[in-house]
Structure 1
Amino acid sequence: MKLQVILEPSEEGGFTVYVPSLPGCISEGDSREEALANIKEAIALYLEPIEDDALVAPNAQLLEIAI
């Protein structure tokens, strides 16, 4: 899977990076490389399935789809 990210220099130093297609998925790092490594981890956590979320409604189903 490929996602576009926005990498911006921070006023305090370092970099901030976010994923426009994943609202709230944002990270930062002291260097460009660190910021990109951190956003990869943030994306993985953002997309990690949470089985409890599927159990909110009694008739809910947990499904997997390929994207």
Structure 2
Amino acid sequence: MTRPLRFSVVVSPLAPEDGGGFLATVPDLPGCMSDGETPQQAISNVQDAIESWIEAAHETGRPIPQPSRHLNAG
């Protein structure tokens, strides 16, 4: 089994009119996102979205980008 790729995740608060909670997006994987009631839950949920995104890319023959390192923590 290969080691999964590690992608940067951006977590942002959602406005109350959007349901509140937090949105986690993966800049390297267009359209890959998930949400959760807490930042930690959003990050946990987006891991499933990453796996689904990669699986769909394999099925359709799309390339899977290498994780970028352009985002700074802090």
TM-score, length basis structure 2: 0.64
Which residue of structure 2 aligns with residue 32 of structure 1?
A: 39
Over residues 28-61 of structure 1, what are the superposed CA-to-partner deviations in whole Å (9 max), with x where a residue is unaligned?
Answer: 11111210111000000000122xx35xxxxxxx
Equivalent pairs counted in the alignment come to: 53
- 2:14 matched to 1:7? no
Q: Considering Cα pairs closer than 8 Å and 6+ residues apart, tell me whether 1 or 2 has the greater RCO.
A: 2
State the alpha-carbon separation in 2 of the partners of residues 34 and 4 from structure 1.
16
RMSD over equivalenced CA pairs, Å? 1.4
State the alpha-carbon separation in 1 of the partners of residues 43 and 9 from structure 2.
9
Which residue of structure 2 aligns with residue 19 of structure 1?
A: 26
Find runs of 4+ consecutive structure 1 residues off by over 4 angstroms.
none
How far 1:3 moved relative to its partner? 0.8
Q: Which segments of 5 or more consecutive residues in structure 2 lack a partner in the other structure? A: 67-74
State the alpha-carbon separation in 2 of the partners of residues 6 and 32 from structure 1.
10
TM-score, length basis structure 1: 0.70
Aligned residues: percent identity? 34
State the alpha-carbon separation in 2 of the partners of residues 2 and 34 from structure 1.
17
